[in-house]
Every structure is written in structure tokens, then in C-alpha cells.
Amino acid sequence: MGSFSLMHWVIVLLVVMLLFGSGRISGLMGDVAKGIKSFKKGMEDDEDVKPAKPAQRIEGQRVPEQDAPTATEEKTGV
């Protein structure tokens, strides 16, 4: 009752192959591989990029200063 037997998986695989055909499945797997490659390339590009200038103040919004002490540091004197 828990997991499917080997015969169940074979039948499911045959139904999927009949519905989609082998050409479409291989095309989908190729698209997945391209997506993974572009994701990895994007992650490598992110590591190489240095952060830009700090965020600038937008009128009407308060942007905390980087060197200003936090509320806990002010109370404890650390």
C-alpha cells in the first residue's frame, strides 16, 4: 500500500512515452540542461560583480547610515 512496485513504474513509464513520445521528452531534458547551465553561469557572474555605490537617499524615505550605531549598541555602549 505504501510505494509502487516495479511493474507499476514500468506501466507509468510506458504511458508517459506513449503520450509525449521520446523526441519531446529528450527535447525537454535538453531545455532543462540549458537552463541549469545558464543558472550556473549567472551564479559565477554574480560572484565577479562588485557591489555598486551604496543606495542613495530617496526623497521622503530615510536610509540608515552604514556607520551609525544600532539601537542596541547605543543602549549597551558597545
- Tell me the CA distances in angstroms from 17 to 25, 39, 44, one per residue in order: 8, 28, 36
Set of cell numbers at residue 32: 532543462
The full set of domain ranges for the chain reads 22-46
Confirm whether pTM is higher than 0.85. no
Set of cell numbers at residue 15: 504511458
With b for 16 or more beta-carbon neighbours within 10 A and e for fewer, the 67-77 pattern comes to eeeeeeeeeee
- Helix %, strand %, coil % of the chain (to 5): 65, 0, 35
CB-based contact 63:57 (threshold 8 Å)? yes
| Segment 50-78, tens digit of pLDDT | 656 665 666 666 655 555 556 655 556 55
